[in-house]
Structure 1
Amino acid sequence: MTRETLLDQAIRILQKAEFIISEKCDIRPRSFDVGARRGKTFLLIKVLSNIEGLGEDTSREMRRLAVLFNGTPIVIGEHTNDHPLEGGAVYLRYGIPCVNIETFKDNFLEEVPPLVYAAPGGLYVEIDGDTLKAVRESKNISLGELAKHLAVSRRAISKYENGMNATIDIALKLEAVLDTPLARPINMLVRFEKPGEEEKDDMANATDLEKEALGTMKDIGFDVFRTAKAPFNALSRDDDNKVLTGVSDYSEAVIKRARFMSSLADVADTYSVFIVKKMSKSRNIGNTVLVRHEDLKALDDSDDLLTMLLKKHAKTGGNN
Structure 2
Amino acid sequence: MTKDILIHQIVDVLKQANFIVSKRCNIRPRSFDLAARKDNILLFCKVLYNIDGLNEETAHEMKALARYLGGSAILVGAKTRDQMLEDSVVYMRYDIPAVNVQTLYDYFVENVPPLVAAAPGGLYVSIDGDVLKEARTKQAMSLGTLATELGVSRRTISKYEEGGMDASIDVVLHLEELLDVALAKSIDILQAFEKKLKEPPMPIEEKKYPQEDNVLDMLHSLGYQVVSTSQAPFKAISKDNHDTMLTGVSTYSSAMIKRADLMSSISCVTQTRSVFIIKGPTKSETVENTVLIEEKELDRMAGPEEFVSLIDEKTKYKKH
- TM-score norm. by structure 2 comes to 0.93
Alignment correspondent of 2:150: 150
Structure 2 segments unaligned to the other structure (5+ residues)? none
Alignment correspondent of 1:159: 159
Alignment correspondent of 1:184: 185
Q: Is the 8 A contact 1:209 1:248 kept in 2?
A: no
Q: Is the 8 A contact 1:201 1:224 kept in 2?
A: no
| Cα deviation 1:98-154 (Å, max 9, x = unaligned) | 111101111111111111111111011111111111121122111122112212121
Q: Once the 2 structures are TM-superposed, how far is the Cα of residue 19 of structure 1 from its aligned partner?
A: 0.3
Counterparts in 2 of 1:102 and 1:201: CA distance versus 1, 3 Å: farther
Alignment correspondent of 2:231: 229
In 1, the alpha carbon distance for the partners of 2:236 and 2:207 equals: 10
Alignment correspondent of 1:277: 279
- TM-score norm. by structure 1 comes to 0.93
Tell me which moved more, 129-138 or 256-265: 129-138
Q: Once the 2 structures are TM-superposed, how far is the Cα of residue 281 of structure 1 from its aligned partner?
A: 5.7
Alignment correspondent of 2:222: 220
Whichever residue aligns with residue 183 of structure 1, its letter is A
Q: Once the 2 structures are TM-superposed, how far is the Cα of residue 310 of structure 1 from its aligned partner?
A: 2.4
Q: Is the 8 A contact 1:226 1:235 kept in 2?
A: yes
Q: Once the 2 structures are TM-superposed, how far is the Cα of residue 280 of structure 1 from its aligned partner?
A: 4.4
Alignment correspondent of 1:304: 306
Identity of aligned residues (%): 46
Alignment correspondent of 1:71: 71
Structure 1 segments unaligned to the other structure (5+ residues)? 316-320
Whichever residue aligns with residue 72 of structure 2, its letter is T
Whichever residue aligns with residue 18 of structure 1, its letter is N
3-state SS of the aligned residue for 1:145?
helix
Counterparts in 2 of 1:32 and 1:162: CA distance versus 1, 3 Å: same
| Cα deviation 1:227-263 (Å, max 9, x = unaligned) | 0000100001012321000001111110000000000
3-state SS of the aligned residue for 1:52?
helix
In 2, the alpha carbon distance for the partners of 1:284 and 1:12 equals: 30
Task: Give the 5 Å matches for 1:202-213.
Answer: 203=209, 206=210, 208-210=211-213, 212-213=214-215
Q: Is the 8 A contact 1:64 1:195 kept in 2?
A: no
Q: Is the 8 A contact 1:202 1:226 kept in 2?
A: no
| Cα deviation 1:183-203 (Å, max 9, x = unaligned) | 1111111217565534x7484
Say what the alpha-carbon RMSD is for the aligned residues: 1.6
Alignment correspondent of 2:316: 314
Tell me which moved more, 273-282 or 252-261: 273-282
Task: Give the 5 Å matches for 1:1-320.
Answer: 1-163=1-163, 164-189=165-190, 190-191=192-193, 195=202, 197-198=204-205, 201=207, 203=209, 206=210, 208-210=211-213, 212-280=214-282, 283-314=285-316
What count of residue pairs does the alignment treat as equivalent? 310
3-state SS of the aligned residue for 2:112?
coil
Q: Once the 2 structures are TM-superposed, how far is the Cα of residue 308 of structure 1 from its aligned partner?
A: 2.1
Q: Once the 2 structures are TM-superposed, how far is the Cα of residue 155 of structure 1 from its aligned partner?
A: 1.4
In 1, the alpha carbon distance for the partners of 2:306 and 2:284 equals: 15
3-state SS of the aligned residue for 1:232?
coil
Whichever residue aligns with residue 291 of structure 1, its letter is I
